[in-house]
Amino acid sequence: MTSTIKLKKSSVSSNAPGTGDLDYGELAINYADGNLYYKNSSNVIKNFADSDNVQLSINAAITAAGSYNNASVDAHLNQSTAGSGEVLSWNGSDYDWVSATDTTKLPLAGGTMSGDIDGNGNKVLFANVYSTTGSLPSASTYHGMFAHVHGTGKGYFAHAGNWVALANDADKLNLSGGTMTGDLTVPNLITSGNVDGRDVSVDGTKLDNIESNAKDDQTITAGSGLTGGGTGDVTLSHADTSSQASSNNSGRTYIQDITLDTYGHITGLATATETVTNTNLTHTGEVTGSTSLTISDNVVDEANLKVSNPPTNGYVLTAQSGNTGGLTWAAVSSGGNVDSAQTVSLARGAVSVTTGSASGGGALSYNSSSGVFTFNPSTNSGGLSNVVEDTTPQLGGNLDLNSNNITGTGNISITGNLTASGLSYPTSDGSANQVITTDGSGNLSFSTVASGGGGIDSAAVTALVDSDYVQARADVGVIGDANTVILNEYTGDSSATAFTLTHSPTTDQHAIVMIDGVVQQVNNYSLSGSELTLDSAPVTGAEIEVRTLRMQSGAVTVRDFADYIYQPSSATTTFSGADINAQTLSYDVNKLDVYMNGARLVQGLDYTATNGTSVSLLGGAADSGDTINISSFASSTINGSRNNTVLSTTTASQTVDTFNKTVSRSAKYIVQMTQGSNYHTQEIMLIHDGTTVSMTKYADIYTNNDLGTVDADISGNLVRLQVSPNYTNTTVKTHRTEVGV
């Protein structure tokens, strides 16, 4: 069905609207004159004229200026002198026909200039590229020209009849240093600094002295007690090369001093004699040394301590009866005890164990400073301080932490009952969705939260949110607040924490998040626009439901109909303030009727009313005996559902508003889009049959750029209004009015 749009109009010739008669974008037509009027951005009324009227105006202007015939035109423009292809040019006193080719101008197709180009400080951009060096023009003709050869990747300039290649930066060694890929050949190397950390000027002088005093005969002289020497490769030997006698405290000769001259030549060697004491010698009979050590056969005698028999693998030294003052190698006897005063030395690290006053229930403690393990009686509270060496330590009783903590990065696995801080934890797992509860006596157990009471039954919450009562209150037209509930469902994959909702909740209180039927606390997730982010990723297969509560408001503001009556006592054109009933004139622009002596006046033709407080007559003043009646209509505003969505991407068909198809059959939208200083608005009318949405768009207005397109579809029970923005970060505001099914 088509609609008829009627503009403001007048049939009175020369009538034109005032600035208060037209809003921006509104049109008015005078069909007697054929003029179309509008108000521009400077608040000035402009008009378009009928084409016939335009032609009449042109003809009138020509007539007023005087008529021209062919003869007069020919006389003024020298038409008879024009040649083919010539153009009309002013020669200073008259028009003249000249050749279209201007030799003072450079053709667009290119050519040769006879002068310079002065860019006046501006840039000259051109592509001076040749494929090969053979393609370059004559270097003699274009002396000083710069060009680029693509084939070599180098720049060239013309000089002295040759094209000289410019060096590439990558082919040169920086002054600050670098690594060369080839050899460096120089006739003389002169430096004022250090080379490889050495002062060349100082070391060079030393080298010069060595060179001047160097000897080709480097003589080595053997010192006292040595033989050999000479020039070239020489060998130095002890003067006494006979075998050293195997006797204790014998003397041996060794090199003690080496004498060098200033040039590093060996000029002398000095020797010395040392006394050598032999060890691990084999003796027969007793040998008594200065330390009172006597060795005789298998008997070691020091202060009457003797070992009376040869050792056997695994034997230990023991004191035996019948061997007074001596020790005997014997096998270790089983079941023996260690005397509490004894210290057992261990081979590994010489660690000692002191039994102390060991008794039943005692503990073994380790002193890391002395390297001694000590048995402590059962009353000792020191405890076992180090169990690193034992990978599976076991306790014989309770573990008392003595007000300390158990720390670490591994896991603590407990089999059996666990009691912590007086709370006894269950020893087996509960059922799905159960929670841990207490009986008030320190006993914890898994139990199912029942509906009612102090618990939260997720099924009851879901049923309440999705109930017909809550859904119906979204669009029943009552004055106040109501909710539309939008359900989004997802499945966990053990990694995803961010989920995009189809609608942006007003606050985090307007979203109910459930994981496997358990309502999540608000501090377990965050919301940014339509992006929901959980603190941790739900496990694979977890059912995630998000119900978004869309707050809607409805409000009606009504002002009563009012009549204002004026009876002037003298000629008056403007009426304002109090009327004859002491009512002060107040109206909404374009929401009034004006009557003079019972005859209705036409706004814009007979009067203007632009400020809400006064009315001015256009056709003449009202005088004594006249009655002016100004009727102000009731002004009402119905606010339906409003929504505000920020579209950060240009993704097509992004949902900006929805309503329940089972509640409303049709809807009217005002859509406003904002992007920076660009604005766009349009009105939408849509209706659906439960499956397909039919819609029309009109009053499509934008300031600078078209910010996007609007469409609609049905998904489940929701009719969705969708926007495809042309720019990122576009804010879309909607105002919806609905009609029920």
Question: What pLDDT score was predicted for residue 417?
Answer: 79
- Tell me the average pLDDT of the chain: 75
> Which SS3 state, helix, strand or coil, does residue 91 take?
coil
Quick check: 374 pLDDT over 80? no
The closest of 625, 592, 735, 621 to 673, measured between CA atoms, is 735
What is the arithmetic mean of pLDDT over 598-605? 92
CB 669 within 8 Å of CB 722: no
* 96, pLDDT greater than 70: yes
Token pair listed for 387: 């169990």
Take residue 651 and report the two structure tokens written for it.
């993704």
Closest CA relative to residue 264, chosen from 200, 227, 219: 219
In this model, does residue 73 exceed pLDDT 90?
no
3-state DSSP call for residue 66?
coil
Please determine, for residue 243, whether its predicted confidence score (pLDDT) is greater than 70: no
Q: Is the pLDDT of residue 608 over 80?
A: yes
Phi/psi class of residue 732: alpha, beta or left (left: φ > 0; alpha: ψ in -120 to 50)?
A: beta
| Pairwise CA distance, residues 609 & 631, whole Å | 12
Residues 714 and 701 sit within 8 Å (Cβ to Cβ): no
Distance CA 167, CA 160 (A): 18
* Conformational region of residue 36, where left means phi above 0, alpha means psi within -120 to 50, and beta covers everything else: beta
**CB-CB contact of 470 with 483 (8 Å):** yes
Q: How far apart are the first and last CA of the chain?
A: 21
Of 271-280, 317-326, 642-651, the one with minimum mean pLDDT is: 271-280
Answer whether residue 287 shows pLDDT above 60: no
Q: Give φ, ψ of 305 to 5 degrees.
A: -100, 120
- Which of 20-29, 221-230, 341-350, 690-699 has the weakest average pLDDT? 341-350
**Cα 83 to Cα 81: distance, rounded to the nearest angstrom:** 6
Section 16-33 average pLDDT: 88
- Which single residue is written with the structure tokens 């009318």? 685
Q: What is the mean pLDDT of residues 242-248?
A: 44
Q: Please report which helix (H) or strand (E) contains residue 464, including its range.
A: helix 458-465
Edge-to-edge strand list for the sheet holding 306-307? 306-307, 326-330, 316-318
What is the pLDDT at residue 77? 64
pTM above the 0.75 mark?
no
Cα R_g (the chain), whole angstroms? 56
Q: Which of 69-73, 557-561, 643-647 has the lowest mean pLDDT?
A: 69-73
Distance CA 714, CA 662 (A): 11
Q: Hey, what are 41's tokens?
A: 């951005």
Give residue 588's pLDDT band: very low, low, confident or very high (50, 70, 90).
Answer: confident
Q: What tens digit of pLDDT does each residue of 79-93 get?
A: 667 777 777 777 777
Between CA 136 and CA 157 the distance in angstroms is 10
% pLDDT > 70, the chain: 63
Candidates 713, 680, 684; CA nearest to 698 is 684
Q: Tokens in use for 182?
A: 């080839």
Residue of 305 and 622 predicted with greater confidence: 622
Mean pLDDT (whole number) for 16-39: 88
* Residue 138, CB-side half-sphere exposure with 13 Å CA sphere: 2
Identify the pLDDT of residue 310: 80
CA distance 536 to 496: 8
What does DSSP assign to residue 463? Answer: H
Distance CA 410, CA 405 (A): 14
Average pLDDT rounded to a whole number, residues 509-515: 85
Per-residue pLDDT at 364: 63
Mean pLDDT of the 546-550 span = 82
Helix, strand or coil for residue 172?
coil
pLDDT of residue 477: 40
Q: Read off the pLDDT of each residue in 188-194 and give the average, rounded to a whole number.
A: 70
Q: Is the pLDDT of residue 455 over 70?
A: no
> Which tokens in the block code for residue 674?
């904002």
Write down how long the chain is.
741
- The residue with tokens 């060694």 is 173
Query: Taking 80 as the threshold, does the pLDDT of residue 600 lie above it?
Result: yes
Judged against a pLDDT cut of 50, whether residue 5 lies above it is answered with yes
**481 or 149: which carries more pLDDT confidence?**
149
Tell me, what's the pLDDT at 222? Answer: 64
- Cα separation values, 351 from 80, 346, 369, 569, Å: 132, 5, 11, 128
Q: Which helix or strand (DSSP H or E) is residue 206 part of?
A: helix 200-213
Per-residue pLDDT, averaged over 45-61, amounts to: 81
pLDDT average, residue stretch 389-401: 66
649 has a pLDDT exceeding 90: yes
Q: Check residues 404 and 390 and name the one with the higher pLDDT.
A: 404
Quote the pLDDT of residue 14.
Answer: 85
Lowest-confidence segment of 346-360, 429-443, 476-490, 575-589 by average pLDDT: 346-360
Query: Within 13 Å of residue 468, how many CA atoms lie on the same side as its CB?
Result: 2
Beta strands in 567-703 (DSSP E): 574-576, 592-596, 599-600, 607-608, 614-617, 628-632, 636-639, 641-647, 654-660, 664-675, 678-688, 693-702
Q: What pLDDT, on the 0 to 100 scale, is given for residue 149?
A: 93
Structure tokens at 128: 């001076």
Residue 259 in this model has a pLDDT that exceeds 80: no
Number of neighbouring beta carbons within 10 Å of residue 612? 13
Q: Give the chain's largest Cα–Cα span.
A: 168
When comparing pLDDT for 637 and 271, which is higher?
271
| pLDDT surpasses 80 at 555 | no
* Band of pLDDT at residue 596, cut at 50, 70 and 90: very high
Encoding tokens for residue 621?
Answer: 């003043």
**d(C-alpha 490, C-alpha 471), whole Å:** 22
Our CA dihedral for 244, 248, 254, 256, rounded to 10 degrees, sits at -170
Per-residue pLDDT reduced to its tens digit, 704-728 = 889 999 999 999 999 999 999 999 9
Among 100-114, 443-457, 485-499, 718-732, the least confident range: 443-457
Q: CA separation (Å) from 586 to 335, 533, 615, 697? A: 119, 53, 10, 35
Query: Distances from the Cα of 205 to the Cαs of 173, 190, 200, 337, 655, in angstroms?
Result: 31, 15, 8, 82, 88
- DSSP H/E element including 207: helix 200-213
Please give the Cα distance from 243 to 226 (Å, whole number): 16
Q: What region does 154 belong to: left with phi over 0, alpha with psi -120 to 50, or beta? A: beta
* Residue 206 reports pLDDT greater than 50: yes
Sign of the torsion angle spanned by Cα atoms 320, 322, 324, 330: negative
| CB contact set of 310 (below 8 Å; sequence gap of 6+) | 298, 329
Instruction: Evaluate the CA torsion angle 522, 526, 532, 534 in order and state its sign.
Output: negative
pLDDT at 601 over 80: yes
pLDDT at position 74 is 57
- Close Cβ partners of 573 (under 8 Å, ≥ 6 residues apart): 616, 617, 620, 621, 622
Mean of pLDDT values over 345-364? 50
The pLDDT of residue 483 is: 56
Q: Which of 155-164, 255-264, 503-512 has the lowest mean pLDDT?
A: 255-264
* CATH 1.10.10.10 for domain 640-741: no
Read off the pLDDT band of 232 (50, 70, 90). Answer: low
pLDDT reported for residue 25? 84
The residue type of 643 is: N
